[in-house]
Each structure stands twice: as C-alpha cells, then as structure tokens.
C-alpha cells in the first residue's frame, strides 16, 4: 500500500505552483507540512482527482492517477473548505452523499450507522448540519470521506479552526482510522504532524525540501 509521486508539476500559465515533486507515501499516517502558498492544497486536490497535473506521474496503490474513476473508488477526500446544506440533518446529508457515490440503499444504511458511531456523531444524527460545532463538522467530514470505505484518506487542513480539546479528540480519531490504510494529512501546524504522523514531508514554494521521519522535521524548520 503506497502512493508514489514522480516529478509532479502544476503550472497556471507561467506561475509554477508545484515543481518536480517526488514523494513516496507508505501505509499509516503521513503529514504534509507547509505554509500558505506552499502548494500543499494543490497537491492534495491533484491526488483527489479534483485537479489535473501539468506533468509527472502518480500511482495510488498501483492505480495510475489518470484512471480517475478507479482512483475515486479507493480514495476518500476531505477538502479544506467543506460544507453541506445547513438545514439537512447529519444522517440525511450522509445518505445523500452515499447516493451520489452510487452506494446501494442497504449498504448506505449500514455504513452510515457504523460511521456515526465511529466518529462519535450518533447522538447528532438528526441535528441540522448548520448547527454543528467546528469539531463536529470535521468529524462529519471524516465520515463522508469514509463512505466508500477507501484505502486512502486525503485530509486537507483537517484541524483548522478546532480548539485544543477538539484537536486532541481529532488526533485520537485519526490514529484509530490509520490501521490498514494510508492517511495523508496536510497542515501548516507542525504540532499536528508531530502528534499523529511517523513520517512527513515539508513543502516550500511548490518544492519538497524534506521527507523522512517526523522527528527530523525540526532540523529543516530550524
């Protein structure tokens, strides 16, 4: 189980957002650290097949990124900005997303029930999405990303806006979910990666300037 990225680039006209990105991402939790404008969100969107790269090659568990339909069957994605219809209940919103993913009704019911328990939203199943706290919305975001039981989870700034207690609960959830799958998490907060990931990469101005064990991140950050 591995994501392999080879010489990936993304340009907007003459502006290079990603340049010669090469990474190997193994099973478990992997952190992608970078500041605003580093290119990490662009990379996450490419891996989730939302954006096409300008050049390079990506394989996710042996499937070429160009095979978008096959990739979407094995990847779950939580974008940085995520929302739903505010009046739709938690359960109805997940059911709607499962329908869009072409999951059969019985599979949707069973999977949604299990996910609500897993992310600790069972008591909120009837609550409108618009009334969820920031932490609950992030947990909902994880649940929707898990609807297709993916081999790979791509989480873009998943702890943004969470208070310290919610952040700790989120860390515990991610550790539980990492068994048997790849979780790639981007963040600008080094503590997020240090608390959850054994391996990480540091992206700066669209280039990988470090990849390796998380404990060695401090060397590159000074």
> What is the predicted pLDDT for the residue at 58?
97
Average pLDDT, 10 consecutive residues per value, the chain (222 residues):
96 94 95 93 96 97 95 92 90 94 93 92 95 89 92 91 83 86 93 91 95 84 56
For the chain, the structural domain boundaries read 2-221
Domain 2-221 falls under CATH 3.40.50.300: yes
**pLDDT at 116 (0 to 100):** 94
Q: What is the DSSP secondary-structure string of 147-171?
A: TT--SEEEEESTTTT--HHHHHHHH
With vertex at residue 181, the alpha carbon angle to CA 180 and CA 182, rounded to the nearest 5 degrees, is 145
- Helix 90-100 vs helix 105-118: crossing angle, to nearest 10: 130
Query: Is the torsion defined by CA of 64, 176, 40, 38 positive or negative?
Result: negative
* pLDDT computed for residue 170 by the predictor: 84
The span from the CA of 192 to the CA of 208, in Å, is: 19
What's the pLDDT score for residue 222? 53
Structure tokens at 213: 């064990």
Q: Looking at residue 83, what is its pLDDT?
A: 84
């Amino acid at each position: 189980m591995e994501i392999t990225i080879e010489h990936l680039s993304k340009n907007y006209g003459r502006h290079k957002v990603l340049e010669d990105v090469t990474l190997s991402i193994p099973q478990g939790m992997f952190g992608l650290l970078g500041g605003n404008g580093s290119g990490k969100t662009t990379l996450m969107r490419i891996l989730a097949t939302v954006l096409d790269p300008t050049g390079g090659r990506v394989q996710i568990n042996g499937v070429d990124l160009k095979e978008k339909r096959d990739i979407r069957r094995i990847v779950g994605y939580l974008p940085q900005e995520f929302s739903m219809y505010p009046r739709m209940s938690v359960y109805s919103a997940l059911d709607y997303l499962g329908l869009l993913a072409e999951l059969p009704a019985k599979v949707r019911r069973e999977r949604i029930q299990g996910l609500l328990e897993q992310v600790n939203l069972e008591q909120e199943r009837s609550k409108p999405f618009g009334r969820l706290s920031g932490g609950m919305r992030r947990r909902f975001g994880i649940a929707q990303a898990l609807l297709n039981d993916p081999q790979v989870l791509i989480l873009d700034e998943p702890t943004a806006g969470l208070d310290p207690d919610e952040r700790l609960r989120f860390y515990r959830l991610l550790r539980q979910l990492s068994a048997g799958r790849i979780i790639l998490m981007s963040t600008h907060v080094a503590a997020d990666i240090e608390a959850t990931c054994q391996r990480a990469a540091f992206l700066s101005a669209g280039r990988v300037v470090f990849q390796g064990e998380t404990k060695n991140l401090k060397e590159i950050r000074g």
